[in-house]
Structure 1
């Protein structure tokens, strides 16, 4: 390769060369495949540093479907359906109205738990969600309406996903890697609340149950919301009867229907003395 003999042009070429960039400013370098371990470490460190600086002592995790909407929106969607259209669309609209119950319970639970534990200098049982719409939005919204902070752990997906606007801005994070996102869900968790949802919700729920079952993390209260949903979805008794899990493993979680029952389940697990701190 030929280089200019002009000293100014040569200096300009040096300063503009990718190799002259500081390593931590070289995005092309950081995006190389063999730099994945560095990116993983950064995704571990960045949220952890921020959460410490923000004084987040402990969290309660809320999982659930991104497709559930609030009651007002569900009813508006039902009213917008042409009665002469296919019965399937009308049936889906009616289901959305029924499912909105879970949105309102997630919202109410987050409001109750946030109002109770964020009135002091320390921040305990801070609501943390995946940061998206649906049940995640409901939980962040409930905390917001209580005048409290809440966390959103968003993840990059093939299709566009925006964080819901109820997350506390300085506690909104975005992840490339699901594994690191899941780790941050649990690092400060003092409870896990699982509302009805799809593959993502089930993946997150069963990973936590597996970690508790195998002793990889200390037991925390796992509360499934929606008795009829979970009983129809998974026959836990059958798993125990067939020997795929121990009978005692069914006690790793409890099932409830309403926000006040979630609070009661947390208090029952902690014998009325809700813990503080990591």
Structure 2
């Protein structure tokens, strides 16, 4: 999924649940207005309403996605045309994810996002799109069955992380890199479970990996173990296998941790009973 979107005239500009077209499209986004420092004291009156709007985005997102079940997010460029091999690759990835029992979540736009939603829908799975308000018309692609539009990036990113058990990342631009490193940071800092992050297309990603494993690692800015947080593959089959494999490992770890906690609790209860009068 990428947010470096392309113009799609006539599809409309989404401002939360509101659809705008033509002269109704605003010059700035909700994020721009929220982060602007040029409002003087007006924020005293406007920001409380923004807080309510932000709260409503979380409520709507949680409500819409709570019953999606196991899901994987697929990221990649909005600029990839349907004629590119990577478009077909994204379709294949999504179809295989559905066959493995996952719903597919994208940013809901064109390019790789549309390809992944198409693959999920055609495979009979749950096809989810999380749209974002942007300063150009983009719209939700036609293969999204469950779509939620957001004003704010941070609310939308929370939904990707909360409802995904892994990220599959195809070639993309700044938006894709932003989402990739957001997920990578959360895993590295143990803010989320170490779900799989799979990069598809070794030729595309190798330069980035060389820099991370070279300049960044050599200066001690990351640990060698951090390199293992990324898995690089070339095929849809390998990508889905990596997600499934890591999912099995995480479930085993969860079961082991639950069993250990139960044993510790039983031991503690027994010790309490031994000293009871």
Q: Same fold (TM over 0.5)?
A: yes
1:233 corresponds to 2:217: no
The structural deviation recorded for 1:48 is 1.1
| Corresponding residue of 1:266 | 243
The structural deviation recorded for 1:273 is 8.3
Aligned residue for 2:74, secondary structure, equals: strand
The structure with more radius of gyration? 1
Alignment equivalent of 2:125, drawn from 128, 148, 151:
148
RMSD, matched Cα: 1.8
Checking the alignment, whether the CA contact within 8 Å between 1:267 and 1:273 is kept in structure 2 is: no
| Corresponding residue of 2:198 | 223
Q: Deviations over 1:115-162 (max 9, x none)?
A: 331xxxxxxx21000000000000000011112221000001011111
1:137 corresponds to 2:149: no
Checking the alignment, whether the CA contact within 8 Å between 1:61 and 1:185 is kept in structure 2 is: yes
Checking the alignment, whether the CA contact within 8 Å between 2:132 and 2:156 is kept in structure 1 is: yes
Alignment equivalent of 1:197, drawn from 150, 158, 172:
172
Checking the alignment, whether the CA contact within 8 Å between 1:267 and 1:274 is kept in structure 2 is: no
1:57 corresponds to 2:32: no
* Structure 1 residues not aligned, in runs of 5+: 1-30, 72-99, 118-124
User: How is 1:94-173 mapped onto 2 (pairs within 5 angstroms)?
Assistant: 100-117=84-101, 125-168=102-145, 171-173=146-148
Checking the alignment, whether the CA contact within 8 Å between 1:61 and 1:193 is kept in structure 2 is: yes
> Partners of 1:274 and 1:131 in 2: how far apart?
29
| Corresponding residue of 1:38 | 52
| Corresponding residue of 1:18 | none
| Corresponding residue of 2:80 | 68
Checking the alignment, whether the CA contact within 8 Å between 2:70 and 2:163 is kept in structure 1 is: yes
Q: Could you tell me the TM-score, scaled by structure 2's length?
A: 0.71
Aligned residue for 2:165, secondary structure, equals: strand
> Partners of 2:113 and 2:59 in 1: how far apart?
24
Checking the alignment, whether the CA contact within 8 Å between 2:165 and 2:247 is kept in structure 1 is: no
Aligned residue for 1:62, secondary structure, equals: strand
